[in-house]
Amino acid sequence: MPAMKSIGPFEHIVLEAVAALAEETYGTRVLDRACTLAGDDVNVGSVYVTLERLRKKGFLKTVAAKPTGRPGWQPTKIYKLSSFGEAALDESIQTTERLFMSYLSRKRERIPDLRYKLKLLQKQRI
């Protein structure tokens, strides 16, 4: 059991990428999803180092990938969110919500613009 559930912003992105993928969650797919979530390119090495760190902390589990029988490169590890990883994501989201609510209380004039952006996000379903 991990001693602490708190995670950093990049760990949050990587954990959310693993959680969002659900299937075939191997390194390159996590990288692609992390880039989407970050809104920018992220370093390949950073993703793999973070995946391993999160596994050591107990937030992720790995299982051996099943061979597909197709020639070429095959992923060796499939990543899954552990119950501790889910709890860490939940805690991080709650912290982010508190920060966002604090931000909104200071920036009330931007609320109509945010409502519009939220509606667009709901249509896109990231």
* Per-residue pLDDT tens listing for the chain (126 residues): 455 568 999 999 999 999 999 887 888 899 999 999 999 999 999 999 999 999 999 999 998 877 766 776 666 789 999 999 999 999 999 998 888 888 877 876 666 677 777 777 777 765
Chain centre to alpha carbon of residue 123: 20
Note whether 79 and 25 are within 8 A (CB): yes
Residue 97: its pLDDT value, please? 87
The 3-class secondary structure across the chain, one letter per residue, is CCCCCCCCHHHHHHHHHHHHHCCCCCHHHHHHHHHHHHCCCCCHHHHHHHHHHHHHHCCEEEEECCCCCCCCCCCCEEEEECHHHHHHHHHHHHHHHHHHHHHHHHCHHHHHHHHHHHHHHHHHCC
Longest dimension (CA), the chain: 57
Level-2 CATH architecture, domain 9-124: Orthogonal Bundle (1.10)
Enter the pTM of the model.
0.77
What pairs with residue 61 in β-bridges? 80
d(CA 88, CA 102): 21
